[in-house]
Amino acid sequence: MRDENLFDQEDYLQARVDEYIWQKSSDAGISRQRFLQILATMVGATAIGGLARPAPAHSQTSTSSLSNPSATVKAKSSKILKPLPPGYISHSKGTLEMNWEAMYERGYIVPNDWFYVHNRNTPPPFDPSTWRLQIQGTGISTPCEFSYDEIITMPSISVTCAIECAANGRRFFEDAYNKPLSGTRWRLGAIGVAEWTGVPLSILFERAGLKSTATDVLVEGGDLDSLDSKQSKFSSVVPISKALADNSLLVYAMNGEPLPPDHGQPCRALFPGWGGNANVKWIERIEVSETPIYTQWVLEQMVLVGADYPAISPYKGKLIKYQNVKSAFELAWPATLVAKPYLLRGRSWSGKGKIVRVEVSLDGGKIWQFARLREPNFPFAWVRWDIEWNPIPGEYSLQARATDNLGNTQPITVPWNDFGLLYGGVVSHPVTVQG
């Protein structure tokens, strides 16, 4: 276990619980899920620290908690401010995973209240009369600051794209390698697509007198970096080339509304295709530098560490930039259906472009067939797809694999990395069909 990767005390304790469960289930020669089921039936199970507490999960049937308000999952404390819709998963007091089953009846965009959340701290308070964005550093000639009113009256554009946590799919590393990982155990719901409106960073840099020698851009938010012993503000770094891209924005609106507190109010960064941590929330300062900028988070956490990823100094492993290709079915996990014709639906996405092909297997990977792709299909967002299925009663393992316009295809297996980041392998979705 890697304690330095844990965000707060609750995550630390939960990681220790997970480690215990993995060890005991392994010793007994049974699955983690079966061990939890047995533990939950034991008299006095709560006496061992609540180990039998089942993690909130997607419904077991296609009707599920979506029609049952009492099934609404509540976050464990106030790190998340917005009301929580039914069917969501709360892994810790600052996380909220999107329910893929709920997306079956929804359009291309994820509504603000259904969008996933990963808050290290409670969103900081925002006063539009006093908030200022500072732009400084050796890479500009005129350090300056802008008020909120000045930002929202600048020329702006809207970009429809995904924001996805780099750890999305982490728990599938655990399943594939039968070993536990610390940190949030996301399935595939740490992603959302929205229409983001804001000012291109290039406009801000032009007003600040961007130098041709600028190299790196550090974006700093209003929450504390949990890894920094000096209690510095959380920040991330991108190269100047990414910051100057046409679709790299200082965002102030989400799906036509002012940014909600949980999603970065008043402003957040948008770097399409890059991991969620690069899209810093609650921005207060941007530093443009003529020399490379290294932060503890980027050097030690936004890297792939493992036997297949040799470290390149000064990074602890292989630096993460763009997200990889993934696919998800719009079904409960696990799903229980009745034997009748279905229109299976799902979504696939890539951090490097747009999806051009999706293949689906209804028999665990033996036979593959092409799914129908539905418009829109924006780069750096996702494409919706569907396929007819008329199953007979039985147990099924549904799989989907996508290919983007650069030829990147989801592999069957992926190498292990110590933080469980960028899981892009084909996922087997369990489905039981009843007669």
Per-residue confidence (pLDDT) for residue 65, from 0 to 100: 34
Query: Do strands 157-164 and 191-200 pair parallel, antiparallel, or not at all (unpaired)?
Result: antiparallel
**Could you give the CA distance from residue 204 to residue 251 in angstroms, rounded to a whole number?**
12
Residue 397 in 3-state DSSP? strand
What is the predicted pLDDT for the residue at 384? 98
Q: What is the pLDDT of residues 143-195, one digit of tens each?
A: 999 999 999 999 999 999 999 999 999 999 999 999 999 899 999 999 999 99
Phi, psi of 129 (to 5 degrees): -80, -20
- Cα(5)–Cα(300) distance, integer angstroms: 9
- Supply the pLDDT for residue 87: 82
CA distance to 91, 262, 313, 369, per residue, from 96 (Å): 7, 11, 34, 33
- Which pLDDT score, from 0 to 100, does residue 16 have? 43
CA distance 21 to 102: 30
Q: Are 302 and 166 in contact (CB under 8 A)?
A: yes
The Cα diameter of the chain in Å comes to 71
Return the pLDDT at 85.
Answer: 80
pLDDT for res 32: 56
The pTM is what?
0.83
Helices (H), 225-345: 240-243, 296-300
338 CB neighbour count, 10 Å cutoff:
12
The structure tokens listed for 207 are 């007003």
- The span from the CA of 281 to the CA of 168, in Å, is 18
Provide the β-strand partners of residue 355.
404
If 0-12 CB within 10 Å is exposed, 13-18 middle and 19+ buried, where does residue 65 land?
A: buried
Alpha-carbon distances of 417 from 200, 277, 305, 406, rounded to whole Å = 34, 18, 5, 24
The tens digit of pLDDT for each residue in 317-343 reads: 999 999 999 999 999 999 999 999 999
**pLDDT tens-digit map of 213-238:** 999 999 999 987 665 556 689 999 99
pLDDT for 57-90, tens place per residue? 333 333 333 333 333 444 445 699 998 888 888 8
Residues 136 and 151: their CA atoms lie apart, in Å, by: 16
- Per-residue pLDDT of 397-422, as tens digits, reads 999 999 999 999 999 999 999 999 99
Q: Which pLDDT score is estimated for 89? A: 86
CA dihedral 390, 396, 402, 407 (to 10 degrees): -120
369-370/326-329 β-pairing: unpaired
Whole-number average pLDDT of the chain: 86
pLDDT tops 60 at residue 46: no
Tokens of 116: 């996933």
Residue 20 has pLDDT above 80, yes or no: no
State the pairing for strand pair 326-329/191-200.
unpaired
